[in-house]
Amino acid sequence: MLLLEAGPDYPDLGGMPDELKYDLNQAASEEGAAHNWSLVGRATPEQPGLSHVARGRVTGGSSAINHQIMLRGLPEDFDGWAAAGNDEWGYVKTLPYFRRLERDADVRDDFHGSDGPVPVWRHSRGDWLPLQEAFYRACIDAGFPDDPDMNHPDATGVGAFPLNNPGGVRMSTALTYLNACRHRLNLTVRPNALARRILFGGAADSGGGGLRAVGVEVESGGEVFTVEGEEIILCAGAIASPQLLMLSGVGPSEPLRELGIAPVHHLPGVGQNMKNHPSVSLVFRSAAGHHPAPDAPRNQVGLRFTAAGSAARNDIQVQPTTSYPESREAPDIRIGCRLELPFSKGELRLASADVAVQPDLDFRFLTDAEDCARFRDAVRRCVRLFEHPAFEGLLGERLDPGDADLVDDAALDGWLRRKAGIAGHTSVTCRMGPVSDSMAVVDQYCRVHGVEGLRVVDASVMPEVTRANTNATVIMMAERAADFIRGR
């Protein structure tokens, strides 16, 4: 087995840079960071500029630069996947794989694992920062329930986030999975090797009859070479996997021809239906004398609730966070608020036939009226929440949104569209579904429709984005797909 990684590889913890080992906040997300592709995308049609889109460029992918929240999708998410024609992905069938991946230090019951590779823990209440404690008190007083286990299938309300950074060390999939396998004689890891395109044998036609993936064209060390294999598995993420498919001629035929790429298999769903979690920050001036330390934990407590009028449980997530460059005290306090189940759909399009040119990422957040209505409710509830007396001495004036942004629905919609940011949760660009679904790219076993010997296993194949940070779900999907590949 050959693992190709476009970025560097760090085989042992001692040689790993601190920005990967520890959560040094901006070190892994600033434009031009060594281990980040530092992509850009358009969040809303109204925003004239582009926003940063973080993607890991190192062994372990985005799990090596993320915020380390191990929050699972809801049971309804996976039952929705099953209802869309993917019966192998219902909650009952995915739960054993969530249990398999985790080693939960706090919760021991039928819903959690105790001997998996990924350690999971939570900050105890006695260790919460003053801002986190005040947030919890305000949420309880506002009527939100206490949530002692955010990964319980019925969980909702406010509680401590499940995390995968015991002792402050980010436990990426490179550390938790790959390092345990490096001794195997049948595994070779080749870092700094950029896949340029997939190579095919057999007939190239619109139906894909007889088409088979036989290898990968790779660039490394200034040279281009070919690697052949019996099965090719793309795990490049929800941006690079569809990009690589289209560069290889698999995708919507006409746009490929316009870029001079000869189509080998027409799959119109590649790059379509792109989802992510639109996010905004409520910004407060830090009260005099209260400045979170630069190395303060980023994530401790979170809130999930259902927006007014919504039929989707837990479609809002709120987290007070500290996220500032090292060695600088925070001048303000930012409260993250996210829409967890957006209906708006974006699109990923090739901008060039050159693999070095990033695709055009048009997320089209808040183009669905119901998304705006739910997000408005969430922001207004957050504004009221932070008027609680528990924040006295911690928060000063609210800087954003201003009072003028809250005066009516139109003003707040304008603020949301101007301020919406892009979370690191891009998904659904190679949607899973039956062959009867014209926009499906892979079947429920992650095999690309109409192409033999080719699978995609990453967030791109989600039929719908989960109502949670995506890291835990993607690891679960890899565990599940591994059993499919082994024929279990």
Q: Which residues pair with 334 in a beta bridge?
A: 283, 321
Q: Which long-range contacts (CB under 8 A, 24 or more apart) does 75-83 make?
A: 75/153, 76/312, 76/313, 76/467, 77/464, 77/466, 77/467, 77/468, 77/473, 80/463, 80/464, 81/432, 81/462, 81/463, 81/464
CA angle 253/257/263 to nearest 5° reads 50
pTM of the model: 0.95
| DSSP 8-class letter at 156 | -
**Torsion over CA: 144, 147, 150, 152 (sign):** negative
Burial of 31 (0-12, 13-18, 19+ CB in 10 A): exposed
- Within a 10 A sphere around the Cβ of 364, how many other Cβ atoms? 17
Architecture of 1-42+51-121+166-272+347-355+427-488 per CATH?
A: 3-Layer(bba) Sandwich (3.50)
Q: Are 195 and 243 in contact (CB under 8 A)?
A: no
Q: In the chain, where does the domain assigned CATH 3.30.410.40 lie?
A: 123-160+278-341+366-419
Beta strand segments in 143-266, E: 157-160, 188-190, 194-201, 212-220, 223-228, 232-234, 250-251, 265-266
Residue 51 is inside which H or E element, if any? strand 51-53
Catalytic site positions: 425
Residue-by-residue pLDDT tens, the chain, 488 positions: 999 999 999 998 889 998 899 876 444 445 557 899 999 999 999 998 999 999 999 999 999 999 899 999 999 999 999 999 999 999 999 999 999 999 999 999 999 999 999 999 999 999 999 999 999 999 999 999 999 999 999 999 999 999 999 999 999 999 999 999 999 999 999 999 999 999 999 866 544 458 999 999 999 999 999 999 999 999 999 999 999 999 999 999 999 999 999 999 999 999 999 999 999 999 998 888 887 777 788 899 999 999 999 999 999 999 997 645 444 555 678 899 999 999 999 999 999 999 999 999 999 999 999 999 999 999 999 999 999 999 999 999 999 999 999 999 999 999 999 999 999 999 999 999 999 999 999 999 999 999 999 999 999 999 999 999 999 999 999 999 999 999 97
Measure the CA–CA gap between 479 and 235, rounded to whole angstroms.
13
Q: Are 20 and 30 in contact (CB under 8 A)?
A: no
Query: What SS3 class is residue 178?
Result: helix
Tokens of 455: 């699978």
Q: In the chain, where does the domain assigned CATH 3.50.50.60 lie?
A: 1-42+51-121+166-272+347-355+427-488
Measure the CA–CA gap between 243 and 271, rounded to whole angstroms.
8
Tokens of 19: 């920005």
Q: Which residues pair with 216 in a beta bridge?
A: 198, 227
Tokens 């746009």, located at residue: 255
CA angle 429/119/430 to nearest 5° reads 5
Measure the CA–CA gap between 124 and 131, rounded to whole angstroms.
14
123-160+278-341+366-419 is classed CATH 3.30.410.40 = yes
